[in-house]
Amino acid sequence: EAGVTQFPSHSVIEKGQTVTLRCDPISGHDNLYWYRRVMGKEIKFLLHFVKESKQDESGMPNNRFLAERTGGTYSTLKVQPAELEDSGVYFCASQTSVDSPLHFGNGTRLTVT
């Protein structure tokens, strides 16, 4: 089966610009998560979708971040406007149920200059 795919793999933007990251989970995985690793620190949870609904968005840093999962398939994470501290690697993960293994994508490396 195809794994979790993320696009783009790298993005370099200037402060104040907008970037949209995309995640395609494994087909049939209702649970989708976004995580972020900033400056080589620990990977932190951002939010959790169950199908198209936001189950938990307690990790979203501020209102410059907007996540959507229309139709309950792929998800997008938009950063608008981007700030320098948003630089890092954004990971997406999916799972069939909360007790099943997490499958991670390769991540999107975002650099804000």
Site string for another protein, 21-50 (x = CB under 8 A): ----------x-x-x-x--xxxxxx-xx--
Query: Least distance from C-beta 14 to another protein, angstroms?
Result: 25
Would you say 30 or 68 has its CB closer to another protein? 30
Would you say 44 or 78 has its CB closer to another protein? 44
Cα angle 20, 24, 28 (rounded to 5 degrees) comes to: 145
Distance of CA 1 to CAs 23, 25, 83, Å? 16, 11, 36
Distance of CA 103 to CAs 27, 31, 96, Å? 12, 10, 10
Residue list 62-91, contact with another protein (CB under 8 A) = 91
